[in-house]
Chains A and B, each alone.
Chain A
Amino acid sequence: GDSVTQMEGPVTLSEEAFLTINCTYTATGYPSLFWYVQYPGEGLQLLLKATKADDKGSNKGFEATYRKETTSFHLEKGSVQVSDSAVYFCALRPSNFGNEKLTFGTGTRLTIIP
């Protein structure tokens, strides 16, 4: 079945540091890939997405590129801020139309210190 493997956390960085959170997946066909962010006490917010190979999703300075050859979708940001502190989830959705099932990784807790 589908699965998502995410970089173990927690991750602690200083403000303005470079961020990478690794994500690899196992799925048949060409799933859509997502990064969601969860702030304390809140639900999930979509951060960015990519729906086909070599697509780059980007939002709020975060980027991730859909790499079919390495089945990866690593999240990067060039300069993190304290406000980026949250839990980040990598997820995939199957390619077959009508299937809304999202498969999530276990999440990576990110803490940015001033």
Chain B
Amino acid sequence: DAGVTQSPTHLIKTRGQHVTLRCSPISGHKSVSWYQQVLGQGPQFIFQYYEKEERGRGNFPDRFSARQFPNYSSELNVNALLLGDSALYLCASSLVAGNTEAFFGQGTRLTVV
């Protein structure tokens, strides 16, 4: 079975631009969460979606938004990019929210210049 897949793996954007990151959960998993991992730090929670509804939001500005589609895949959008948004963005999926193990994808490395 395929694991959690994220795309793209790397990208470079300019300050002020917009970016969309994509995540496909493991087949059958209905919960998807997004994390930001700045170099040298632990991942920070951004969003959780379960059954296409937002179930949790971390301490991130409104420039960050996300959604989950009927097939449970998810997008993370970031507007008006800042240099400080440069990070590894991780997606995690789980079978049932709050009840089982979270599996992480390889991440998307975003560099803002």
Contact = CB atoms under 8 A, between A and B. Distances in A.
B56 A99 contact: yes
Nearest to A49: B101
Contacts of A49: 101
A102 interface: yes
A96 B98 contact: yes
Interface residues of A, number: 24
A35 interface: no
Nearest to A97: B98
Contact of A107 (B41, B45, B92, B106): B41
Interface string B23-39: 00000000101010000
Nearest to A91: B42
A91 B42 CA distance: 9
B55 interface: yes
Interface string A46-72: 100100000000000000000000000
Interface of B: 4, 31, 33, 35, 40-45, 48, 50, 55-56, 58, 90, 92, 94, 97-99, 101-107
